[in-house]
Amino acid sequence: MTLSLVRPADVVLEIDLAAIRANFQNVSTLVGPQVRVAAVVKSDAYGLGLVNIARTLIDAGCDLLFVANLDEALLLRSSFSGIAIAVFRDEFDRFGTWYQSHDLIPVVNNCKELHAVSTAGEAQTYFLNVETGFSRFGLSVGDLQHKYLLRTLERYRPSIVLSHLACGECIWHAANVLQRDRFRAVYDLLKPTRGSLAASAGVWLGKSYHFDMVRVGSALYGISKAGAQTNPLQPVAKLRARILDMRNVPAGEAVGYGATFRTVRASRVAIVGIGYKHGLPWSCANKIFVRLAGYSAPLIGRISMEYMTIDITDVPAGRCSPGTFVELLTEDFTVNDLAAAAGVSPQEVLTRLGAGCTRKYLNLSSPSAAFTASRRRRR
């Protein structure tokens, strides 16, 4: 028999699904009705939970979801039968039957897969990835100059050709223009196949980057604002963690591993039950503040595996005690800010926090979602 203790979580990542719906609408409005908005839900929806996030996006009107691999695709398919699911990379030449039996769309990344698609039967829907300056996956522009390959592509036409920008976050970067022009040439070559170049950052590079479809992940989760004067995206995640213990520390004492912080006054400190195992970046030690009962308290010393320490000397004694939650991510201090303080990418912070914390969902369904669903059923 296994024993388990039931108690409330010490670390809670709160995910606002209404904000995700709003971000999807926002991106849709930005690109206009001619451009399809596909949602990227790879890596467990950037740590936020594949099935819940997918359901939210489908309710918001999304009809195509991208996942990283077949494992994620199969999990998604077991929850949603009607929706189109595309797999960024997972060996169609080995696993073709899985794609076929579960109605999944492969992204073809090399000639081996293209050959497998062309021998799988006329009806095999697939997307084609073309390499234009990222040097990751995809057929090279050179590959497309081979006549036999072009003939294959004409006979077994991909429904979408895609490529990925390396420098979309830098609106002025010359690499964007180079990749767009290379992609434009491929797009013209493969007409009437539709095209998709932009991920989240590319949405803000302007119309000439949108082609027929954008593939957005980060923007939906509130973590891309590249090029935007005012950030139209809503933050999605809030993070809080519980104070476990408090103590008085005399002036001149060290706090935490490496003694990277030393008190300059007699201090009151609180030990909070969140550490790098929960996804809090180690590199934000001594750099951020948490909110506590309307006060601001600095994180002091290194972050350890399960804990961090904050200075609560200036917080009135009655306002905090063991059991009180402190807020690490709020509307005013977002994943973007934490990532900037830690010197890492916001995507990295979000996926790690999502994997390491207890997730709690707000606004699970909206009245408009229920309305859309009932309308869909009636049609």
Ligand X SMILES: *Cc1c(COP(=O)(O)O)cnc(C)c1O
Q: Which residues bind ligand X (CB under 6 A)?
A: 40, 42, 88, 164, 199-201, 215-219, 224
- Measure the CA–CA gap between 180 and 169, rounded to whole angstroms: 14
User: How far apart are CB 73 and ligand X at their closest, in Å?
Assistant: 15
User: How far apart are CB 64 and ligand X at their closest, in Å?
Assistant: 12
- Measure the CA–CA gap between 152 and 144, rounded to whole angstroms: 10
User: How far apart are CB 126 and ligand X at their closest, in Å?
Assistant: 15
Which CB, 65 or 255, lies closer to ligand X?
Answer: 65
Which CB, 132 or 218, lies closer to ligand X?
Answer: 218
User: How far apart are CB 10 and ligand X at their closest, in Å?
Assistant: 29
- Measure the CA–CA gap between 70 and 57, rounded to whole angstroms: 20
Which CB, 124 or 200, lies closer to ligand X?
Answer: 200
Which CB, 164 or 242, lies closer to ligand X?
Answer: 164
CA distances from residue 262 to 219, 244, 273, 286, 308 in whole angstroms, order as listed: 40, 21, 21, 11, 15
Does residue 42 carry a catalytic annotation? yes
- Measure the CA–CA gap between 1 and 38, rounded to whole angstroms: 46
DSSP string, 134-163: S-SSSEETTGGG-HHHHHHHHHS--SEEE-
Does residue 126 carry a catalytic annotation? no
Pairing state between β 261-262 and 295-300: unpaired
User: How far apart are CB 113 and ligand X at their closest, in Å?
Assistant: 15
User: How far apart are CB 76 and ligand X at their closest, in Å?
Assistant: 16
- Measure the CA–CA gap between 154 and 162, rounded to whole angstroms: 16
**Residues 42, 46, 238, 307: which is the catalytic one?**
42
User: How far apart are CB 42 and ligand X at their closest, in Å?
Assistant: 6
- Measure the CA–CA gap between 349 and 28, rounded to whole angstroms: 26
As given in the structure block, the two tokens for residue 265 are 């006054």
Asked whether the CA dihedral 30, 32, 33, 35 is positive or negative, the reply is: negative
Burial of residue 1 (number of CB atoms within 10 Å: 0-12, 13-18, 19+): exposed
According to DSSP, the residues that pair with 87 across neighbouring strands are 67, 106
Neighbours of 379 (CB within 10 A): 4
Residue closest to 53 by CA, chosen among 352, 303, 379, 363: 363
272 contacts 309 by C-beta, under 8 angstroms: yes
Which CB, 141 or 293, lies closer to ligand X?
Answer: 141
- Measure the CA–CA gap between 76 and 332, rounded to whole angstroms: 33
**Residues 112, 207, 257, 360: which is the catalytic one?**
257
- What residues act catalytically? 42, 257
